[in-house]
Every structure is written in C-alpha cells, then in structure tokens.
Structure 1
C-alpha cells in the first residue's frame, strides 16, 4: 500500500469512455445477451416512433459482414443545432448519455427507450456506426468510430467497413453531419447501421436470429398496423422467390432518393465517397437473403391467439381503457435545470386473455412494447382483480361448484386460476419507472391500482356473465378453475397418504399408537390419552378414519428441567415427537406434521391438569409452531352426568364443574323436571362407556375443545420457566404471593 495517494491518482472518464470501460453497467453482459440488448435498443427507438403515430414501417437487416441495420419511416432524428451543446440533434442523441426527447412531456407520450442511453451506448460499443436521416427534403449522414464522430474513407462505398481509414473530428471543429442526397418533402425517417466492437464483446457473442424474430413478431402484435420486415442477407431463399414482392413496404406515394450536388455538402466530401444505407422499402442489393415480414392489426387479441396451444375453454376476452394518475417528476426548465413538478399522467391498459384446456400458464407482460419478464405493478394489478372476481363468483355459486365455504382448505388459490390461462398484459405510460436499465420489472406504483380497478370492472362483467355473450363461457371457465382446485386438494391428500406411508415405513411407529386411516391428513386428529383404561374406551368411541390415539402412562418427563438427551431417552416424550412426525426444536417443520389437531385428553382432575401442563411444556419447547398456529387442543370431558326421569327418561345432562352441577339441579327442580337424585360423577375417562365418551369428548358434532393459544410468546416462556423450571424459590414466592387470588373456577375440579 502506497502513501502518496493524491488527486493525480484519480481518473476522469469523459463522454462515452465510461461506457466502454464498464459496458456491463449498461447492457448487462458482453456475451450474446449483451449483443442482442444493443439491437433491442435501436429497434425500440424505431418502435417508439410508431407508438408516437409517426412510423408504420421498420426494416431490420442482418448484413453479411456482421453489421446490423435498422431503418424506419418515422420523423427522423432532429438535424438542427441543440442550443445548449451547440451540436446537431444527431450528434447529441448518439454521443451524449441521458439525452433525448423522451425526458420531456411532449414528444413521446409512451416510449420503450426511456433512460436516454440506448443509442449512445450502442454507438460507444460499436467499432463503427453510420446514421442517415431523411428530413426537410434532404438526406443527412454521419459516421462514428467507438462513439467518436469523424469521416471514413471507404474504398467501396457500397460496402462500408469498420476497418476503413477514419479521421476523427477535432474537438473545436463543427459537426461532421453532411447532406448526401435529396428526398421528397414528405419523406422522413432514420437508418442506423452499426458494427459491434469485437474488443468489447467476447468470442462467444452471436446474433440470435430466432430471438430477433420472436421480438419482432411480438412487437408487431403490440403495435397494430406496424409492418416490420427482417432481412438476413447471409441466407439464400428457397424456391423462386421475388424479393421485391416480399418486401412490399412502400406505399404508392413513396419516392426514391436522388443523389444531388447540394451546396450545403462540404467541399471536401465527395458524393461517391458517402455511405448509402438501405432505406425502408428499398430492394436490397443481394439476392442471397431470407425475408420475413410481420404485421398484425388485431393487437393483443391476435397475440393471445398466437400463444394459445390447445382446445380453448373460452373466447379471447379483452380489457382495455385509460385512466389518469398524478406523479411527481423532475422536469427540465428553460435554463436546463431540474425541478420537481406534479403532473397528471395517462395510463393506457390493453389486456387480452383466454383459458385453454391445459395446465400451463402463458403470461406475457409489456410496458410501451418493452417486455417485463419480471412482471411488476401492471401484472400485480391484473392478478389482484382477476383473483378477487373469480373468488367472488365461486363463493356466490358454491353449491353449483361443490365448494364448502366453511372449509378454508377449499379456497380458490391463484394457481387454480392461472392453470391454462393465456394472457398478454400491456400498459402504456409516459416515463415508466423500471428496475434497472434492462427494464425487467415495472415499478410505477399507481399503475397497479388502475389495472386492478379496470380488471375488477370489465373482467367482473365477463366472468359473472352479465355482459352479453359471456354467460356460457364464464360457466366453463369457473368449472375449469374449481376443477383445478379440487384436483389440487386431491393431489395434496394423495401426497399426504404417500408421506404417511413413507414415514411409517422409514421409522417404526410406537406399537401402542392406534393410527387413523390414511388420506384424511387435512382433518386428522391425534388424541394423547391418559391411561390404558381410557384407551380401551377411546378406541371404541373414535372415528378411525381420521382419529388416532396415543396413550401415555402417568405424568411424562418435565422437559423444562431435562436435557435434550434425557428427552429423547424418555419413551413417552420420544414417542410423541416421533408420531407427530415433524421433527423437534429448530428443525421442526409444521408442514410435515401428520395431524391437523393434537388433542390432550386427560382426566378432569388435578392430576389430569398436571399432565396437560407437562404435555404443553414439551410442545412449547420442542414443537412450538403447533401452538402458534392453533393446532393444539385440550379435550373437556364432563365431571357429572344427570339422568332425567319421567317423560324425559333416557335423556342425560352433562356438567363440567360443581357450580354448574348445582345450577343445573336448581333449574330442573324449578322447572319440575324429574331426574335421578344420584348424580354420576366421573373420576376418570375410563369410567365412561364408548357412547358417553364419543358424545361428550370425541365426536366433533357434540364435543367441546379448548384451543391452546399463545398470544405473547415471551410472557408464556417466562411463565413456563417460573412454574416448571429448576429454580424453586421464585416458584414458591409466586405461589405465596398469589394464594389469596386463587379462583377455583379457573381449574378443573
């Protein structure tokens, strides 16, 4: 490490040199992905002209020498001088980062290239870039080498090369923009041809024709009426193909450009030395090429139809509209300074969707024709509205679709709705906020609410069948979605059966476990029963399809005072952990639990209460999520049984405390209802017969359970530590301090 660190050690990269030094910051990678990203930037600029209503034809040409050319018939890059930089608009756009018309509010209301770095970054990363602009009845030309303007001297002007001699423009010299021809007054457009710099991109970087065709095709869907032609000059067409016929992109009013000896052309530049690029609609020079042309007038509906592979369940549904939102943005004033400004934006929404008879989901999302594979606010809003309306219709027609609204397990999930869905979600907004230059995710928050409300209203009318012609379709869609829900639930049950079978095979369950039948894991119950005598009665009283029994002998180990080794060595504790099947401690996974309810069924006396506390201590310390998520219960067996007589003979009343018994006897006497004065008192669960135990304690239709909850884990932990821990004096002090507040009604007697 040196100590002579000073200002001379600092480097300042000016202009586009920073892009060449750190290309990954602007295009992500320098492999094939980055190479294609540069092409997207140039194509997006042409498409932005189409979005502005100024362009209806784009031609992309892959030349034999590896260069790429994008031509459009838009307005053309401005050629006049920008006041602040004193440079022409062409040079500003192609050499200045964060410069362009898309930072204002007038030229582009919806554009894909928004960061002002696209064209200039491509220029910086190209060994050569040539641009031609048709404006004002003239054709202008300018060339660049690695982002720097200058003049190339090509030996063959019909075949320009990045290896030709290049003379860089001197710093104080006027721009090299030159006039090389004339066009009609109505002819406008821009043509950009560039050669990717091999010093920047690695040896594996290759243009992907398939990716290009996919991108061009989707763009033609998203901009209805736009005709995009792709020419690959390295591939010969098959058969007798008339290329001029295939390229029918010129309208009846198009006129070819003518070379002129324009007085504005610099004297030292010869017309013959100028570079001529293939214009929109011009017949390419070579016959060795393949040509593909794309134009779709149906927009996103055609896109969904193209993406649909399978038997359709519904027609193509269309959600469209515009809405306004307010946003604070940074605006440039007359002096070129930024200031905060509250403006009203317009959001255009265009969504098409349909369901097909399949399982895969195909969803494509776009913002101003730029794909957002990561989704974002527009997709979130669409899915929110979609899910809400589907759930609403299913709930309103629960009986028809066999949905039990009382069972939370039969709730429609988003995956049920997405199964077989084909959708294209697009929005058009000015200056969208993306996450990064690669524009994968839309972050403009107000868009979510707009799309959600629009989906709510329009999709709601379709799925409810209130819109004419949608009733039959909506019925089929809802049947498919609810069918997916039932299939998902059944698949989960099958998985649980397999998991239970594997668990039983991989580890032998305690022999005293009386398990329930597999296949009902979402409602399965495990009763931890006190004593063998109660177990015999419980076996006869239970419903074996979903109720399992595990007996314990007396009071289990107090785990508050025991080590983990002692707990695992204890037969009762280890049996409970093994039967639950979800592990213990930090490794406990509630998703693996084999039962939905864990029910402690002990006698209604002090000993029974003590056993419940010991069980809760074990569960709290080593299977705490069972309590946190409300899966632990205490059975409430009765203390007394009153046998009615007279006209009510054969009927019984159960009470659960001495006070309740006294009140019930008083009520029967007052109402003059005969009963046997010898009230039966249960000393334990084993004193009940199977019918009595089922009616009072085990049958879900008639039993009473207390759900054990833990509202404050920290406080619960402190109480468990105080009452069940090793430290005796604090526990003794607690008992003495609270003896006067003892309330018999708070415990079972």
Structure 2
C-alpha cells in the first residue's frame, strides 16, 4: 500500500475482462446458483425465440464430462457480418457485452433477454464454448476459450487452443437440411471462476423447465442427464397455460375455481433510440403491457404466488406484483365493506394483506417490450408504470367477478369473503392469545391451562414440555419427571384433526387451544418462534396403534399451525419400551432389568440370553401403555436425559410433507383409501409412526 494515488493506478477493464474480474455482478454468485444462472441465460434465448413463434422444442443435455449443451430449432443466430464491428453475428453475440437483437430493433416484440450480456457472460465464464448454427443450408461453427475465439485441436476443454491472430473465422463444417434452422451451444464452466462444489442441480433445472413449459403453451423442453450410471430423460410440455400452472402449484383443496383475469394497458416512456447515423436520440415511445393472471383461493392459509415478466421469473416481485396486491386488496376491502352486516364485521376490524392472501395461489404474468429490472439477475421488476396497469386490470376484472349474477360466481365470491373475514378474526384472536400467553412473573396472574404441570426454570434452552396421553400416564409422569426443567401437559385421547377443520374450529377446540396457549408463541401466520416457552416439545403417547394415531394428529397440528417449531428441530417423539425382561443372576448378585423396544429386539435378546445360559422371569412384561409403568421405570426409559431415546421430527421437503398430511388427514377420502389399499402389503407395524 502507498499513499500515492494518481491516474496510473486506475484500471480500465475492456470487454469480457470485467465479467471475469467481477462475475458476481453479472450472475449473482460463483456457486451452484451462479452456475445455474448461466444455463438459463442460454436457455432463455431459445425461449424468447419460441415466444416469437420460432421453434417448439428445446433440448438441455448435462454431459458426463461436466459440460452443458442447449439445442433449439429456432431461426439460428445470425451468421452474416454486422457492419459496425465487421464481425459475424455469432462472434458479436458471444464476445460483445450489450449486443443483441433485443434492444428495440423489431426482432422481438417482448423478450426475457434484455441487457445483451447473457451469452457473452456465459462465454467469458467458460473454459470452452462451442456453438453451431444451422442457417441457409449450412452448419456454421465457432469455438471460444475463456471468451476468446479460436480453434481447439481436440474435443476437450484442455485440448491445445490456437486463438485467431489477424481475423476470426466462422467455419462452415457441414450441410444442413433445407429449411432446417437452429442453434446448438455446448460449454464447460471455468473452474477458475466457480467454486469447487458448484454443480448443476437437476431438480432445480427440472422445476424451471416445467415452469417455462407451463408459461409457453405448446413448447416442449427435454432434459437429458448423462452424468450418472443411467441416462435420465425428462420431457415437459403443457398446452393449458397459467390456469393449469396455478392448479399444479396449489397446496390445498379449492374454495374457488381458478379465475383468469386478463387485460392490457398503455404507458409512455422516454428511451434512447439508435438512429441510422449511429447517434442515440432520446425518444418518447408508447408501450403496451399485456396482463394475464390466474388465481384461486384454497382452504389453507399459505400463499403461493409466482410472478413473471416476459416468461422470466421475478422471485422477489417488483412493480407488477405490487400492482396485483394493490388491486386485489382494494376490491376485497370494498366487497367486505359492502357486505359488513352479513359478515358481522365490526367498525374497528380492518382487513390486512395477509388476511386476503391467505390460501391464495396465483400466477401473474406481464408482457411488454424492454422492461427495466433491478440488476442483471432480473429478480425484481422496476418499471414504475406497470404497477398502475396491473392494479387497474386486476381491480376491473375481479370486481366484475364479484358483481356477476351467475350462480357459481355468486357462491364462490361469498365463500371468498367468508374466508378472508374468518382469517381476519382468527388473526385478531391469535394476537390476543399471543399477548396473554407470555410467561407471567410473580406479580402477575398466570393465564396458562390449569392442567399444565409447569417446570421451575425459565431457561428456554433447558426446558422440555411433555404432551402426555391421558391422566393415568400424567400421574406416573409427575413422579418420574425432573420438575426443574420438565413440564407436563395431558391431553384427553385424540385431538381434533386440524387438516379438515377451520382455523376458528381449531382455536375453539379445548385441547388444541391448551397446547397453543401452553407453548405461548401463537399460531399460524402470527407464530413467533422466539416466544416459545420450551426448548423441546416431546410427544409421549403409548407404543401402540392408537398412540401412533395421536402422535399423527399432534404432528398435524404442529405442522399446520406451528411449523417453525418442526423446522427448527424442536419437536420430538418419546420412545417408550414395549417389554421389560428381568434376567436372573445366580447367588446374591442382583437381577438385571433390560428393556426392549420392538418384537425383533426382544427375540434377539432372548436368543442371546438362552445361548449364554441365562434365565429370565416369565411371563415377560408387555407394556400396553405408559400408565402401566411405575415412576422409576418411566423415568429410566423415557424421561431421564441420561437413558432415554428421542425421535426428532424433521421436515426436509415441506411441499412433500404437506401433500402427505393432506393425503392422510385431509377431507378427500378416495385418495386415502387408494393409498391404504395399495400400501397395505408394505406396512411395517413396528415402524408405523417412523
């Protein structure tokens, strides 16, 4: 370091040097996420062609050598010479930043590629990139090494490379059938740039391909994975559109049909327009924005929204999503105000956004030329005028639906209003619960359930709440617990199946309300993990089928209304023993007590004892429930931290877990019956709740 600072310390990065020096600026990061972003920069170009009606199939191949290949049947990258640079269209696209056919030249009405850096950035961050273009009856080819055009002596990225010295060459390497056009791009990501563990994620690729196939009806996307022992092929094609996409995304049973809200609006903006002379002149242009929304309300409270601009996903929203929420809230609030008497809404009760969006599954798409994004990764739409246009379209179309005289529309809109008002009342009720459920100090009266046997310490990390099946087990557990840090809450039999019940039914159920009140962190959207009064929640039920069912009902409650507890790994199932074997020792040596937890473990133990010549008391005690144990036995086997076994409940795939709960505990009987019939042969009674 030196205190001197002058102009010769400044660096000017030319062309693709800037990309290699600051890759995160263009692709977000250099881990797997950035690697996947590069793939989609190439694929999005092919999708833009399909949007314009050119080509109906895209192939994505993950080769065994780590390279990726994307093939399309579109018009093909231009191969003629671009007059200002003197380079072929292929070389311009892959070596020049901010170059392409999507800057308002008339080649694309609307496109996802906007900044002219997609293909060139991928090229700059690739150890090797090969491109082949079929146009005019010929196959043209060009290769690049870290962004520099030249010729490789072999097929691998580490083959000897000779860069072009005087002028580059777009080689003709074969003939293409008449009328056949398209582009094939294969590249090897540069491991000097990307982290060692960066890898192409097949699940993410398939998810994005499925999403794109929904958004471009009639387009087939084929993914071929050749990296493993077996070649995996997956094809996606949907002719439905975003209505079908919404039904696919919906996590819960429907309250309404999938409604389609469509319209368009116009706005003007001033943009620099390239003149034939080469000068950029600020010009006011009129844009047309096409809005297409598919949405439905479901019985749950989770919100699933997907927003897109010219088929590009905007996971962090932007002006279009803000407009959608604004239009939706205005219409629903107006309708609730008009029907306040029927809905029994008081003057002080006001709908919030979360009440309206509870249970909503929506796909929002807007299409217009040259949208403005916040950053190259295109995660947030920034064009200001789109908010008002989307809000106007959604408000107009939704208001027409609510004022419709059709019988189905009237019935469904009434259900929507009932649902959002129910969510509002549940939120207000939950907030009231939450405010009164905090642990009280010695000067305040306790609002905790009378049947709770609380612990003494206030150190949440040390505390444990045992939810115990039945009063008989509670009596034993009170003597077996360590009252310093172990609390007990008994429940009577099987609690309400909350997968089928409404929020208000759940809150009015005594057992569910007692559990929520005891944990003290609220429920649903208002759940606050930091406010939970216990570090561990342990479900302690009998080791039989009924006990497994009770555990399932309790887990349904936790998963649906207190999911952060499960995600944080704070929910456990106790593992009580099934048998007690008393081994008789000779002489004055005291007998030994051994507990087993399954029939298989018992038989293995008895075989081992018999082989070693030891005897045991007959009959062997088989526990039918926790109430049959005395306090010492329950403490030793199930509650004492030094000897117990706990089974932690985890959620690795929330969507799959939601589907399982809906299958097993939901209101649809037919799928559950089919599942039981088809799975009966595979049932292991010993692992019934594992």
Matching residue of 1:457: 396
SS in 2 for 1:103: coil
Matching residue of 1:485: 424
Matching residue of 2:217: 224
Matching residue of 1:82: 82
Matching residue of 2:457: none
Matching residue of 1:66: 66
- Separation in structure 2 between the aligned mates of residue 51 and residue 327 of structure 1, nearest angstrom: 24
Q: For residues 618-697 of structure 1, what are the structure 2 equivalents within 5 Å? A: none
Q: Unaligned regions of 5+ residues in structure 1, if any?
A: 155-159, 237-287, 510-514, 517-749
- Separation in structure 2 between the aligned mates of residue 145 and residue 440 of structure 1, nearest angstrom: 30
Matching residue of 2:635: none
Distance change (3 Å), C-alpha of 1:235 and 1:451: same
Give the CA deviation at 1:467.
5.7
Give the CA deviation at 1:316.
0.3
Which piece of structure 1 moves more, 458-467 or 116-125?
458-467
Matching residue of 1:347: 289
Give the CA deviation at 1:497.
3.0
- Separation in structure 1 between the aligned mates of residue 387 and residue 406 of structure 2, nearest angstrom: 24
Tell me the alpha carbon deviations over residues 373-394 of structure 1, each in whole angstroms, 9 at most, x when there is no partner: 1111111111111111111111
- Separation in structure 2 between the aligned mates of residue 506 and residue 113 of structure 1, nearest angstrom: 64
Q: For residues 271-420 of structure 1, what are the structure 2 equivalents within 5 Å? A: 288-404=230-346, 407-408=347-348, 410-420=349-359
Q: For residues 601-616 of structure 1, what are the structure 2 equivalents within 5 Å? A: none
TM-score by length of 2: 0.63
Match of 2:382 among 434, 437, 443: 443
Residue 134 in 1 paired to residue 73 in 2? Answer: no
SS in 2 for 1:115: coil
Match of 1:180 among 153, 173, 176: 173
Residue 192 in 1 paired to residue 185 in 2? Answer: yes
Tell me the alpha carbon deviations over residues 386-430 of structure 1, each in whole angstroms, 9 at most, x when there is no partner: 1111111111111111112xx22x111111111110001111111
- Separation in structure 2 between the aligned mates of residue 105 and residue 151 of structure 1, nearest angstrom: 32
- Separation in structure 1 between the aligned mates of residue 105 and residue 402 of structure 2, nearest angstrom: 38
Moved over 3 A (4+): 1-12, 464-469, 505-509
Match of 1:433 among 372, 375, 394: 372
Matching residue of 2:434: 495
Match of 1:476 among 415, 421, 437: 415
- Separation in structure 2 between the aligned mates of residue 147 and residue 358 of structure 1, nearest angstrom: 50
Matching residue of 2:569: none
TM-score by length of 1: 0.58
Distance change (3 Å), C-alpha of 1:433 and 1:2: same
- Separation in structure 1 between the aligned mates of residue 84 and residue 407 of structure 2, nearest angstrom: 58
- Separation in structure 2 between the aligned mates of residue 393 and residue 105 of structure 1, nearest angstrom: 45
- Separation in structure 2 between the aligned mates of residue 2 and residue 202 of structure 1, nearest angstrom: 32
Match of 1:167 among 147, 150, 162: 162
Give the CA deviation at 1:466.
3.9
Q: Unaligned regions of 5+ residues in structure 2, if any?
A: 448-690
- Separation in structure 2 between the aligned mates of residue 124 and residue 82 of structure 1, nearest angstrom: 21
Tell me the alpha carbon deviations over residues 264-307 of structure 1, each in whole angstroms, 9 at most, x when there is no partner: xxxxxxxxxxxxxxxxxxxxxxxx41110001111111110110
8 Å contact from structure 2 (residues 291, 365) kept in 1: yes
Give the CA deviation at 1:3.
6.5
8 Å contact from structure 1 (residues 75, 189) kept in 2: yes
- Separation in structure 2 between the aligned mates of residue 62 and residue 465 of structure 1, nearest angstrom: 51
- Separation in structure 2 between the aligned mates of residue 152 and residue 216 of structure 1, nearest angstrom: 32
Q: For residues 704-719 of structure 1, what are the structure 2 equivalents within 5 Å? A: none
RMSD after superposition: 2.1
8 Å contact from structure 1 (residues 390, 463) kept in 2: no
Give the CA deviation at 1:325.
1.3
Matching residue of 2:148: 148
Give the CA deviation at 1:445.
0.9
Give the CA deviation at 1:456.
0.9
- Separation in structure 1 between the aligned mates of residue 53 and residue 277 of structure 2, nearest angstrom: 30
Distance change (3 Å), C-alpha of 1:3 and 1:318: closer
SS in 1 for 2:340: coil
Give the CA deviation at 1:463.
2.7
SS in 2 for 1:470: helix
Match of 2:197 among 183, 187, 204: 204
- Separation in structure 1 between the aligned mates of residue 403 and residue 101 of structure 2, nearest angstrom: 45
8 Å contact from structure 2 (residues 262, 292) kept in 1: yes
Give the CA deviation at 1:468.
6.7
Matching residue of 1:11: 11
- Separation in structure 2 between the aligned mates of residue 414 and residue 9 of structure 1, nearest angstrom: 53
- Separation in structure 1 between the aligned mates of residue 400 and residue 5 of structure 2, nearest angstrom: 70
Distance change (3 Å), C-alpha of 1:506 and 1:372: farther
Tell me the alpha carbon deviations over residues 132-166 of structure 1, each in whole angstroms, 9 at most, x when there is no partner: 11111111111000000001111xxxxx2101111
SS in 2 for 1:302: helix
- Separation in structure 1 between the aligned mates of residue 261 and residue 296 of structure 2, nearest angstrom: 11
Give the CA deviation at 1:444.
0.6
Give the CA deviation at 1:105.
4.0
Residue 120 in 1 paired to residue 120 in 2? Answer: yes
- Separation in structure 2 between the aligned mates of residue 487 and residue 18 of structure 1, nearest angstrom: 54
Give the length in aligned residue pairs.
Answer: 449
Give the CA deviation at 1:7.
4.5
SS in 1 for 2:142: strand
Matching residue of 1:613: none
- Separation in structure 2 between the aligned mates of residue 26 and residue 330 of structure 1, nearest angstrom: 23
Tell me the alpha carbon deviations over residues 63-113 of structure 1, each in whole angstroms, 9 at most, x when there is no partner: 010000111111111000000000000000000001111112411121111
8 Å contact from structure 2 (residues 104, 369) kept in 1: no
Tell me the alpha carbon deviations over residues 478-525 of structure 1, each in whole angstroms, 9 at most, x when there is no partner: 1111111111121122223335xx45x35459xxxxx99xxxxxxxxx
Distance change (3 Å), C-alpha of 1:506 and 1:331: farther
SS in 2 for 1:399: helix
8 Å contact from structure 2 (residues 220, 237) kept in 1: yes
